[in-house]
Amino acid sequence: MLLSLSLALAEPHDQMLTNAAGAPLHWATMPIRYTIDPTNTAGLAEAGVVAAIVEAAATWTSVEGAHAEYRFVGTERDAVGGYDDHNVVFFDDSWEVSPDLLAITSTWSTEDGEILDFDMAVNTADHAWALDGDAEVEDLQNTLTHEFGHALGFGHDPADIAATMFASAHPGELAKRDLTESDEAVAIFAYSVEFPETELDASESPSCSTTSRGPGWALFALVAPLLRRRRSELA
């Protein structure tokens, strides 16, 4: 199915993901600390993996007028994900959902939409990966720049095929490494207010602790995927 170029540009508020309670997803404190498990079966050098992922996150941090900040705090081993007040990016060899998906970002939020945790899984069961834009395989930085947008609470841009937040990518694509004006507009819309910085780790923060929630507190999980798009398709 070809994308119609006559589609109206998506409005920033229309791209905000919502949880099951209908609340827009958002972070209430900055920076967003995350770790990386660089171990992989894709043959990627671990140092290169870390560099690509850090650069992908930094693309959103550098948006002028938006106060979203990712902060890499180290590597770990044997990451599996799940709600644990711990944000992690990792590779998944035992992919159990659609093989067309390149990566999945899962977020957990409170009823009012405050994001408490994200995990980002890269599909190494069904796709080959590269760090250098190899035309035959998926580019890690390209894909994860998109996924870090999901982790901020942003949905897909249905109108701009060049946008980082467009719903699909093709092998060798590098365009999503760089944000378009529509991507930046969403970031500014969602995070125009500067946050007071906290130096606490997520597990130590009262706003992010599973033990500090009172009666009636609810947790909502949301999963956002990125599809593979063949070179000849505009899906």
Q: What is the pLDDT of residues 13-70, one digit of tens each?
A: 889 999 888 999 999 999 999 999 999 999 999 999 999 999 999 999 999 999 999 9
- Of the candidates 90, 102, 7, the residue with the CA atom closest to the CA atom of residue 49: 90
Q: What is the number of residues in the chain? A: 235
Q: Give the sign of the dihedral formed by CA 114, CA 61, CA 52, CA 14.
A: positive
> What's the rounded Cα separation, in Å, for the pair 227 and 81?
20
Phi, psi of 154 (to 5 degrees): -100, 140
pLDDT exceeds 80 at position 232: no
CA 18 to chain centre: 15
- Of the candidates 202, 88, 78, the residue with the CA atom closest to the CA atom of residue 148: 88
Q: Which residues of 16-30 are buried (b: 16+ CB within 10 A; e: fewer)?
A: bbebeeebebbbebb
The pLDDT confidence band at residue 6, using thresholds 50, 70 and 90, is very low
Whether the CB-CB separation of 17 and 155 falls below 8 Å is answered with yes
Phi, psi of 26 (to 5 degrees): -165, 155
The pLDDT confidence band at residue 107, using thresholds 50, 70 and 90, is very high
The rounded percent of the chain whose pLDDT value lies above 70 is 79
Lowest average pLDDT, out of 81-95, 152-166, 171-185, 205-219, goes to: 205-219
| pLDDT value of residue 11 | 83
- Of the candidates 64, 73, 72, the residue with the CA atom closest to the CA atom of residue 191: 64
Q: Which residues of 153-176 are buried (b: 16+ CB within 10 A; e: fewer)?
A: bbbbbbbbbebbbbbbbbbbbebb
Domains of the chain: 15-210 (3.40.390.10)
Question: Of 198 and 123, which is predicted with more confidence?
Answer: 123
Relative to beta strand 101-110, strand 129-130 is unpaired
Q: Which residues pair with 118 in a beta bridge?
A: 107
Q: In 76-228, which ranges are E strands?
A: 88-92, 101-110, 115-123, 129-130, 138-139, 168-169, 219-228
CA distances from 54 to 147, 166, 200 (A): 12, 21, 21
